Amino acid sequence: MPTLTPGRVRHGVVFTLKHAEGSPEEADFLRANAELASIPGVEAFELMREVSPKNPYRFALTMEFVDRAAYDAYSAHPDHTSFVEGRWVPEVADFLELDSEAL
């Protein structure tokens, strides 16, 4: 992953789904999650499987934004809010969100 340059924002989330591992429901959720990359302002989108035994999460996602205004626009975008309300809230068992700027 490239170094985050000043002014940019990296949005990261680690999460675990309510769905069984390897299930069609899990695959469908991950496919729908990947569609967030098409929201204007999203850059460097990555959806990953967590491999560390040190935490309880199964997946990770990161994306970058040119600045806070772009991140705020993404957060308020109807495709994002619809995904959060319709998929994230009912299907995610637990998560930790990290939104960061370079020092």
How do residues 60-95 score in pLDDT, each as one tens digit? 999 999 999 999 999 999 999 999 999 999 999 999
- CATH architecture of the domain 9-101 equals 2-Layer Sandwich (3.30)
Please report the pLDDT score of residue 35 as a whole number.
95
For residue 3, the 8-state DSSP code is P
Structure tokens at 54: 């040190």
In the chain, domain spans:
9-101
Question: DSSP letter string over 14-74?
Answer: EEEESSPTT-HHHHHHHHHHHGGGGSTT-EEEEEEE---TTSS--EEEEEEESSHHHHHHH
* Nearest one of 101, 100, 91, 102 to 59, comparing CA atoms: 91
pTM of the predicted protein model: 0.91
The CB density around residue 44, as the number of other CB atoms within 10 Å, is 14
Query: 24: buried, middle or exposed (CB in 10 Å: 19+, 13-18, 0-12)?
Result: exposed
Q: What pLDDT, on a 0 to 100 scale, did the predictor assign at position 76?
A: 98
Residue 103: predicted pLDDT: 83
Q: What is the pLDDT of residues 29-62, one digit of tens each?
A: 999 999 999 999 999 999 999 999 999 999 999 9
